[in-house]
Structure 1
């Protein structure tokens, strides 16, 4: 399994929604289309994300203990992660997943030459 959109070869290939305007190939209620509908207005809230699979073997109840750790970076938490999660509410995949735990971490912007860590933030205060 490559993680590629249906009909494509690689994970990062475009799903080409424009060639599937009626949702025949990639359904409108699919996780992929709900998470990133490729609406031009939506591109104002890009997020970088990555999931990591894990498996801890069999738990004490004899069930497989496995899942995904999801991480993302975005400029605006509300228009990035939170709004994306709202679009995913009610998707068919919810029958198979049970989210638990989570936290938010805020990361300072990168450092340019001749700057110190967090300088743009402190410059705005003055």
Structure 2
């Protein structure tokens, strides 16, 4: 599954704070999902900032992921669940659950995954999505 998780505060950014981009230190994890080579063209850049009340749920029927996506918890002391699956019905085999609970927790994923989310507690999440050319 083309998915990595972590916390922005814990990333080795060589003192810069840049944990996503063209710097060599973003080259880690499966598919190097946080690395965008300097010469790489992008399109379809989108950013979403959303304050999810407790109980907010995406339900099913979200489109299959394209390109790369990063969801980052920007609120503190929250609990936000994202589930990923290669199957549209989210059957147990292949299901991966990620909990964003600490400010800076993130999930980054590539194309071809189904995902759904649920705010277990109020959570503000920033999501960035883009396609590589």
- So what's the TM-score if we normalise by structure 1? 0.29
Q: Per residue, is there more helix in 1 or in 2?
A: 1
Asked which structure has the greater CA Rg, the reply is 1
Q: Per residue, is there more strand in 1 or in 2?
A: 2
- So what's the TM-score if we normalise by structure 2? 0.28
**Greater relative contact order (Cα < 8 A, sep 6+):** 2
